[in-house]
Amino acid sequence: MAMAAVMESGEDAFKQLFKFYKRRKPPPDFSEVINFSGNLCTGKVVPIKLNPTAVSDAAASRVGLRPALDWRAFGLQGCPGFIFISDPFRKDSQPFWIRQCLKTYPQKPNVCNLDMHMSPCDTQDIWERSVNKKSLLERLRWVTLGYQYNWDTKLYSADHYTPFPADLQSLSQQIALGCGFGDFRPQAGILNYYRSDSSLGIHVDESELDHSCPLLSFCFGQSAIFLLGGKQRQDPPTAMFMHSGDVMVMSGQSRLFYHAVPRIVPANPSLFSSKLQNPPAPPDLQTQTTPLETNSVLEPVSEQDWAICLRYIESSRINVTVRQVLGPGQSFPHSSEMSSEYPA
């Protein structure tokens, strides 16, 4: 069925396209999906000039990014503030970030979906328990960092905070700087882990208390289709591919635009293997504690760790969203009530 035929049936455009791209049999036609790493012949895409002088090459390199002058950034007509950066990562740095997402960030005190029905001692070593084939990693769906997001109330908790990872904070701040956001403060993170048949429904991220701050999104592993609509739930969305290493920034008006991930798409095998090369670790890796270069947040990924990561991302996708919850000087309503109990 062609996309045009779907659009005629009356149901709102976003729902229709979500179903269209989610469908298994027959598989949908992907010819209208924007591919920022391919030929960009569509008139909707506009190249964006970033702010490359705000990011030094050394600062970019320390978090595994290429010099900001080389970042290929795009916007979409009708989506003010939306920035798509097509894989700005240095050739060898994705393995580190993928290892962090699978091995480090799921660890306590961060919270994951498995904690909802398993005891802390059963979820404290997801990674070690995934070395063998009955893998807990396969059942990981989400991890929350910083101000803990409550999936039921859709509220961030003022008093349940786990330290935001310093490396991910640095990475996010360099991306934000390059996009013109000099004072971005990462305060909450949500990692979503997708299997090949997973999807993410139509939503807006509005739980943060200050919507003037950008929201950053990092993609690793298998590819996906991202639908970006508008301010109204029914507004017709634009479909685009997200590949491993791609970064999206939702700021300005598009910060509150409806969006969804209807489908995970197998990554192009040759592109995938060329991007995801784990640099050979120094021979003394077991004892090594010094980073790859001065002040780098990157650490070598051992062969054993990379084997587990690779097996995982060969069929799965990881998405990391980084959010500033509070504006400058803002505090949670509840915590400010509390503080009034104390003398100034």
Number of CB atoms found within 10 A of residue 221's CB = 28
DSSP 173-222: HHHHHHTT-TT----EEEEEEE-TT--EEEE----SS-TTS-EEEEEEES
Contact pick of 130, 251, 321, 324 for ligand OGA (by CB under 6 A): 321
Number of Cβ atoms within 10 Å of the Cβ of 160: 14
Residue 250 in contact with ligand OGA, rule: CB under 6 A: no
Question: Does residue 319 belong to the site contacting ligand OGA (CB under 6 A)?
Answer: yes
Binds ligand OGA by CB under 6 A, chosen from 14, 21, 181, 226: 226
The yes or no reply on residue 251 touching ligand OGA (CB under 6 A) is no
Return the residues of window 142-201 that contact ligand OGA according to CB under 6 A.
Answer: 190, 192, 200
Which entry of ligand OGA, Mn ion, none binds 192, CB below 5 to 8 A by partner kind? ligand OGA
In the chain, which residue ranges form alpha helices assigned H by DSSP?
3-7, 13-22, 57-62, 94-99, 120-123, 166-178, 269-275, 303-313, 333-339
Choice from 55, 83, 112, 261 touching ligand OGA (CB under 6 A): 261
- In the bound state with ligand OGA, the residue whose beta carbon lies nearer, of 202 and 292, is 202
Query: Which of the choices ligand OGA, Mn ion, none does residue 71 contact, using the CB cut-off of 5 to 8 A by kind?
Result: none
Q: What is the DSSP letter of 243?
A: -
Amino acid at 191: L
- Asked whether position 316 contacts ligand OGA by CB under 6 A, the answer is no
Closest-CB residue for Mn ion? 205
User: Judged by CB, which is closer to ligand OGA: 40, or 204?
Assistant: 204
**205 marked ligand binding residue:** yes
Distance CA 257, CA 184 (A): 20
Residue 259 is a binding residue for ligand OGA (CB under 6 A): yes
Cα–Cα dist 166/172, whole Å: 10
Report CA dihedral (76, 81, 194, 202) to the nearest 10 degrees: -80
Q: Kindly write out the interface string for residues 159-198 of this chain, putting x where it contacts Mn ion by CB under 5 A and - elsewhere.
A: ----------------------------------------
Residue placing its CB nearer to ligand OGA in the complex, 65 or 143: 143
Q: Which is nearer to ligand OGA, 190 or 239 (CB)?
A: 190
SS3 261: strand
* Alpha-carbon gap, residue 139 to 60, rounded angstroms: 33
* Helix, coil or strand: residue 320: strand
Q: How many residues bind ligand OGA (CB under 6 A)?
A: 11
Whole-number minimum distance, CB 222 to Mn ion, in Å?
18
Q: How far is the CB of 306 from ligand OGA (least distance, A)?
A: 23
Strand partners, 3: none
User: Maximum CA pair distance of the chain?
Assistant: 67
Distance CA(250)–CA(47), nearest Å, equals 16
The 264-283 site mask, x for binding ligand OGA (CB under 6 A), equals --------------------
Shortest distance (Å) from residue 304 CB to ligand OGA: 28
Which CB atom, from 56 or from 192, has the smaller least distance to ligand OGA? 192
With binding defined as CB under 5 A, does residue 299 bind Mn ion?
no
Distances (CA, A) of 73 to 47, 173, 246, 294: 6, 17, 10, 28
Binding site per annotation, positions for Fe cation: 203, 205, 259
Q: Which residues bind ligand OGA (CB under 6 A)?
A: 190, 192, 200, 205, 217, 226, 242, 259, 261, 319, 321
Kindly list the residues in this chain that would bind Mn ion in the complex (CB under 5 A): 205
